[in-house]
Chains A and B, each alone.
Chain A
Amino acid sequence: MMAERLVIIGAGMAAGRLLDHLTEEAPGRYDITLINAEPRGTYNRIMLSPVLAGETRYDEIVTHDDAWYARHAITCRFGERVSGIDRAAKRVHAPGGDVPYDHLVIATGSSPVMLPLPGADLAGVIGYRDFEDTEAMIAAASRGGRAVVIGGGLLGLEAAAGLAARGMEVSVVHLMGHLMERQIDPAAGFLLRKALNDRGIRVVCSAVSKEIAGENGHVRALILEGGTELPCDLLVMAVGIRPTTALAKEAGLEVGRGILVDDQLHSSDPAIYALGECVEHDGQLFGLVAPLFDQARVLADVLQGREAAFTPPEVSTKLKVTGCDIFSAGDFAPAETREEIVLSDPARGTYRRLVLEEGRLKGAVFYGDSRDSGWFHDLIRTGADVSALRETLIFGPADPQPLPAPYGGLCSLTA
């Protein structure tokens, strides 16, 4: 009997993880075709920032190379952008020819949001998403000069730090009052800003970008509301990502902000699954790698006929900017019912904030010292009662040395 045909559109990290599971657990069960608009297979996109920063090389972040695909008999159609899906015929249209499927996985990922500013189409204005963007930035940086990054989130700061590391004079323009406001609180944001300043990165917060000025078709400066002009040779927009849903929408699948999927990653068409940053599950979008890997796990099970259901995990964030050690997890917004434990050491540049509710850890923000972040993340995910640990909680799981007898370190008496 012929193997069923499985076609996957997109070779991002979620798709890569799905293939890992399938090739390991059900080799030969599916006849797999992998179509990717980028002319390459899966690499660790998270590691683009270290590549940009010059801390690692592209070939070191490739997770699936040609040999791997060959070994697992996966048909690769790289560099082809799928033009349409014929759901009735169960065929995918691609420049290199149609591909029939029994099961289709849409894993088209996301694309950077490009602000519709005047001048956004000028040369030297790029997003930060993929290998090409990274290459473009490395090339721009090799010419020196000045860069402006719009967006003081995770990606924007990694771009800024990478460009600065490559010798550019970098400014970060951020709409909100403090950097990474979705992941960290103002205090950690302050420390982060200070650390970036220390490495020569200028940070402008509460700044609304108005237009991009150009010269000879090339970016010259970013102009802010209020008239401040930030001259630049490169402008990177890192203000967020948007699920890539055009293909699904055209195919008539139900799409909200992303492709709507159920707990088994089914789209509105039972033969079509969606996976990764392009999906919308229970009203939620996904941009961090941990839930994507969870989705891949669920989908691999589903494709093997096993019971599985996706529930969005608690996520944590780590900023990969060398020297800016940030960890954030859970929900740390202040509330009446919430209690905080804050450890602040500006001299050492470290900060930890824990948010508790009813004796359980709800959120954590660390700056400068993210040791034991996994332990804290586990406490948030499991919702364990930490009341008994409270006094030493913020110092992490290290088994504290017992306090001296006979009073357990409660007073200054010895006998």
Chain B
Amino acid sequence: MTDVSSLDLRRGARACVVRTTCPYCGVGCGVLAEPDGQGGLKIRGDKAHPANEGKLCSKGSALGDTVALDDRLLAPQVMGREASWGEALDLVAAKFAASIREHGPDSVAMYVSGQLLTEDYYVANKLMKGYVGTANIDTNSRLCMASSVAGHRRAFGTDTVPGLYADWQEADLVVLTGSNLAWCHPVLYQRLAAAKKTRPELKVVTIDPRRTATTDLADFHLAIAPGGDGALFNGLLARIVEAGVVDSDYVARNVSGFPEAVAAAQASDLGMTGLSAEELAAFYQLWIDSEKVVTVYSQGINQSSSGSDKVNAIINCHLATGRIGKPGMGPFSVTGQPNAMGGREVGGLANMLACHLDIEEPAHRDAVQGFWVSPEMPDSPGLKAVDMFRAVEEGRIKALWIISTNPAVSMPEADRVRAAIEGCDFVVVSDITARTDTAQLADVLLPATGWGEKDGTVTNSERMISRQRRVLPAPGAARPDWQIICDVAARMGWGEAFAYDGPAAIFREYAALSGVAGALGRDFDISALAGISDEEYEALAPFCWPQSARKSGGRFFADGHFYTKDNRARMLPITPRAPQSQLSDTYPFRFNTGRVRDHWHTMTRTAKSARLSQHMAEPYLELNPADAAKLGIKPAQLVSVESPAGTAILRAMVSERIGRGEVFAPMHWTGQTASAGRIDALVAANTDPVSGQPESKGSAVRITPFPAAWYGFAIAGEEIMPTSRYWAKARSAKGWRVEMACDADPEDWVGYARGLFNLPEAEVVTLLDPARGIARIAFVAEGQVLAALFAAPEPVAVSRAFLTDQIGAQPDPALMSGRPGSDRPDPGATICACFDIGVNTILAAIREQGLTSVEQIGLALKAGTNCGSCRPELAALLASATPAQAAE
């Protein structure tokens, strides 16, 4: 009922173009969103937004596909039944209040998200730290950015990103370390690619244990040993000293800790890098010779038990050379979430106060408490994510509120975390859908508004604050997160302190508080905006912080002024450490994790888009051919991956791109999208002792072939709920596509398929080869294909692109053959998600039209001309399709 009326409301959404910001990665692209009158949105890049100048990646381009209401949570739920807001909020407030009363403020916790807008974050932080009186509020940014924060704070005194995106274009050398930029920050990658095209002298080096799509852009690639970054940059520092390129003047005036850092660097064992002396020498020389150098780093650096040290090893090099805060140079952390930066600024981490103020600094605490006029203020950091869920597990936290994040999937040792949440006395989850692994564990589910329905601000990786604006009405009873938090605060007796009439009011208070921080000598100060009107807030154009009487935007630290007590930057002595999990005969493989091109985090949004679901439509494990051969694993076979913490069943992607002894798995799949694809269940909860960030890329695993009795591929018009040991489902343009496998054959294939698809009546088409274990079963009604299952004892060889297109179509004579008839070309698996161009189409065009460049492919097929995310893959196809020709 609610569903229909909400959709009607959406259809009626006024047709106007709204300037907003993309909710995915930390690039922070401007988006123009326009209701299409069907409940969806037309999406374009905003040419006026400085972060992207009109460009969008495949994920951003497909935002319109993700606003459908089919799986939305539209009303509060209490213990699995629909409830009114009044009942739900009363219960949340009462439970939290009771826990605080009986067990103290530290018995409650909030776990929030880099998806939240700054205003949401601000009130959450204010409620917990200023009113409940606990610092037990942490954010999933702990999982991706905490080491950068710690590194920044140790070096600079504040969590300050010194530079701007423009520096990448002005640099002579951009080093990308621990960053698959092409897939994770595609628009920045395109910016860099464009800069390199204009200025071929701009060199790019990628440092990554894997060869990735990003490597495509690199002048050279260092396939570093996992965990070798600290040693690599220590080696660079030692070489900087040796080469005599230390900026002695800058160091003498603005830096402390230089001798100790250099001594530690010189003591480092470069063997940890796994790189040859020649590779190291070439990289070091290039870095030293390039005055304008930007060292970009991301999760490959952060997600490590020594992530903070790695960050400081990088920053050390920039401080020693004074290459910081000037055009074209500096260390540069790129964030994974749209508002990881905002969360950091507003105090979303358990060890921070608002506005980059320190929780352990009495003057800072007093200032904030005074500003808030709040009753309580914790004087020590709260529990960081991993510790927080340990406390949940141990029953020390009795009431937990999880907002807009999915820790049952994304936390290390995710099975254990899931069990801890399940065992918690009282769990509240605010989200846009009930269909997340975490939401399914909630006692109270609160329907939040999602992207496109809420108003507020976010901060991108270059400190640019942009508005996210509402373009669609809130569906059902959904409310913005800030409002839900304020509602609970009011019911706990603090109504006056949370009486905001909208996000603009929150923003004004926040900006005013940042003025207090600025007065205390902190970097984050946007007090120039403390007085903006609602109208000005509505019209707020993107700007880089700070914005205050003292400073407007720009870079930090060229002037040598840092935010430490003595205003000097700190170089830290770094002793590189290997990943904490030891490899052994039992667990011999280093388990790297990361992202795919077209999915985002736990896929609650991207999985709604058919075009984003085709590129990598199941979870996988990338492993080296030599390892695969040794383990007897063929390409596309399924493998069991086990660590002491958990197991997963993944598709074997056998690839030279990854080194021997290392394996890689993407982190997006959940219990909703795959039977055994929650790869964080395998990740050991080893954390960086400084940042508390888990080492998501360094666990030890073992790999065995999954003993599949059969493999299957299914297509269905309606979503299905397989029960096989392995399944992974993805949306297709006409329904669903599902990979399956199990360790036991069903007794009756037709009956099994009927049950799988829940089609007791439909006409059935069968192809059975019992001796070979082949069963192909399609269901047809009224001349249309409803569903089909293709099963075989080996991975099923069919054209998935062809089959997914058959749903709802008249039964094609070629249907059961699983591939198009010879009269119709098979486009093959989607490479270009924006225009849905398949690999066969591209290869055919290369062959038949003699295409020789990615540009020509674009002209011929449009592939790669929108977001450009697939351009590295197009280049790889060109290389594979064009035999090396003699130069004649």
A residues within 8 Å of B by Cβ? 339-348, 356, 390-392, 394-395, 398-401, 403-415
Contact = CB atoms under 8 A, between A and B. Distances in A.
Given A390-B769, A404-B839, A407-B636, A412 B616 contact: yes
A172 B26 CA distance: 77
B370 interface: no
Contacts of B839: 404-405, 414
Interface in B834-888: 838-840, 843, 873, 880
B381 interface: no
Nearest to A414: B829
Interface string B48-90: 0000000000000000000000000000000000000000000
Given A401-B826, A404-B828, A413 B774 contact: no
B798 A340 contact: no
B615 interface: yes
A415 B655 CA distance: 10
A398 B821 contact: yes
A390 B792 CA distance: 12
Contacts of A400: 817, 819, 822
Contact of B811 (A347, A413, A414): A347
B801 A345 contact: no
Interface residues of B, number: 60
A405 B828 contact: yes
B770 A340 contact: yes
Contact of A415 (B792, B801, B811, B873): B873
Nearest to B876: A415
A28 B773 CA distance: 62
B395 interface: no
Contact of B838 (A346, A347, A398, A404): A404
A337 to B, nearest CB: 10
Given A401-B799, A411-B618, A413-B616, A340 B820 contact: no
A407 B635 CA distance: 7
A339 B771 CA distance: 6
Contacts of B599: none
B825 interface: yes
Contacts of B822: 398-401
B797 A414 contact: no
B730 interface: yes
A398 B213 CA distance: 37
Contacts of B830: 414
Contacts of B737: 412
Contact of B772 (A390, A409, A412): A390
B807 to A, nearest CB: 15
Interface string B566-583: 000000000000000000
Contacts of B840: 404
Contacts of A390: 769, 772
Given A342-B766, A404-B801, A404-B829, A411 B816 contact: no
15 contacts: A340-B769, A340-B770, A343-B766, A401-B822, A401-B826, A403-B799, A403-B819, A404-B839, A411-B618, A411-B620, A411-B636, A412-B829, A413-B620, A414-B614, A414-B839
B831 interface: yes
Contacts of B798: 403, 409
B615 A415 contact: yes
A322 B797 CA distance: 36
A339 B772 contact: yes
Interface in B744-783: 763-772, 774, 780, 783
B595 to A, nearest CB: 13
Contacts of B873: 414-415
Nearest to B828: A404
A355 to B, nearest CB: 11
Interface string B172-214: 0000000000000000000000000000000000000000010
B678 interface: no
A391 B653 CA distance: 23
B795 A410 contact: yes
Interface string B791-822: 01011111111000000000100101111111
B739 interface: yes
A412 B110 CA distance: 38
A410 B797 contact: yes
A410 B817 contact: no
Given A391-B797, A414-B839, 20 more contacts: A339-B772, A342-B767, A344-B768, A345-B811, A347-B763, A347-B783, A356-B771, A392-B817, A407-B635, A409-B798, A409-B799, A411-B618, A412-B617, A412-B713, A412-B728, A412-B730, A412-B800, A414-B614, A415-B616, A415-B653
Nearest to A346: B763
A400 B814 CA distance: 10
Contacts of A410: 635-636, 794-797
Nearest to A343: B767
A405 to B, nearest CB: 6
A408 B828 CA distance: 10
A411 B737 CA distance: 11
Nearest to B737: A412
Contact of A412 (B597, B618, B825, B838): B618
Contacts of A339: 769-772
B749 to A, nearest CB: 12
A329 B445 CA distance: 65
B651 interface: yes
B763 A411 contact: no
Contacts of B800: 409, 412
Chain B CB count within 10 A is highest, among A395, A403, A409, for A409
A227 B796 CA distance: 55
B657 to A, nearest CB: 9
A224 to B, nearest CB: 34
Interface in B673-714: 713
Contacts of B597: 415
Nearest to B634: A410
